[in-house]
Copies of this chain bind each other. A is one copy, B any other.
Amino acid sequence: MKLDHHKRIAFIGAGNVAWHLSQALVGAGHEVVSVYSRTVKSAEVLCSLLPGAKPISDLNMKDTDAEIIIIAVPDAVLNNILKLLKIPEGVIIAHTSGSQPLAILDSIKNARTGVFYPLQTFSKSKQIDLSHAPILIEAKENDTKKILEALALSISTQVLEVSSTKRKQLHLSAVFACNFTNHLLGISRQLLQEASLPEELLQPLIQETITKANLQNPYTVQTGPAIRRDNNVINDHIKMLESHPRLQELYRALTLSIQQTDTEE
């Protein structure tokens, strides 16, 4: 607990990101003074885990005693939130979005704006250790940047300053590595279930795939029927997916992409 860096923080949003970030910050010795959520119940549940935090339902936060306001809401509602938000002069306000620029906060008068983006995937149902998750920082002024950096370093060992443009590119890359990969793992599990095969059977294979991709360029260690151009197996697989046209199409698109990568490289 670093008392010299102790900050009073308010959260806007009580979803997956706010859920984990607020608890990590409290765990590091900071104080979460309030949580705003459109659905008050969500704010109440999260506040029950954060000693002293109050659930609020009003975006007029002129009277908050927070030093930092962290906005952790879906990108789609961010602009609406910003239109309604009122904050005291000089407060630091940071959003947690991978794809939104720092400049989206410019509409807020007299604020010290920044970005505090934890590069991790969050679900309320699963505890997570943030200490190795990169936290990407950006700020308009140097003072603000220093404060956000110190805040990030209090919960993670990996803190980087990254511009809005780069963060957006990183987010796109993360969509492939995380969101899309998760979907493929879901499909794979669905196919195991439909075949009445044990779901844990593929775990060693999945773990090795990831470990290998970490050590080498995945393009150079690609295996499977697509890269071998084994059309008998490919056609067999597409036939086996007959009752899942969506999966057939995905199988074809991924096979084609693997084969085109091969010839491009």
Task: Decide if B189 touches A218 in the complex (CB within 8 Å).
Answer: yes
Docked complex Cα distance between A107 and B228 (Å): 25
Set of chain B residues within 8 Å of A247, measured between Cβ atoms:
257
Instruction: Say yes or no: A177 contacts B202, CB within 8 Å.
Output: yes
Say if the beta carbon of A121 comes within 8 Å of chain B. Answer: yes
Q: Is A75 an interface residue (CB 8 A)?
A: yes
Give the chain B neighbours of A121 by CB distance below 8 A: 205, 208-209, 212, 223
A40 proximal to B (CB < 8 A): no
Asked if A173 lies at the interface with its beta carbon under 8 angstroms from chain B, I say yes
Say which residue of B169, B183, B208, B250 sits within 8 Å of A222 (CB atoms). B183
Partner of A195, one of B170, B178, B186, B257: B170
For the complex formed, measure the closest distance between the CB of A246 and the CB atoms of chain B, giving whole angstroms. 5
Scoring A residues 240 to 254 as 1 if CB is less than 8 Å from chain B, else 0, what string do you get? 110000110111011
> Which of the candidate stretches A43-51, A59-67, A128-136, A137-145 sits at the interface with the other chain?
A128-136
Contact B201 A119 (CB under 8 A): yes
- Is B192 in contact with A173, judged by CB distance below 8 angstroms? yes
Set of chain B residues within 8 Å of A215, measured between Cβ atoms:
126
**Interface set, chain A 227-263, CB cutoff 8 A to B:** 227-228, 230, 232-233, 236-237, 240-241, 246-247, 249-251, 253-254, 256-258, 260-261
Known A175-B225, A178-B205, A181-B206; 11 more pairs at CB < 8 Å? A119-B204, A120-B208, A126-B212, A166-B196, A169-B192, A179-B225, A186-B222, A187-B257, A249-B253, A250-B253, A250-B254
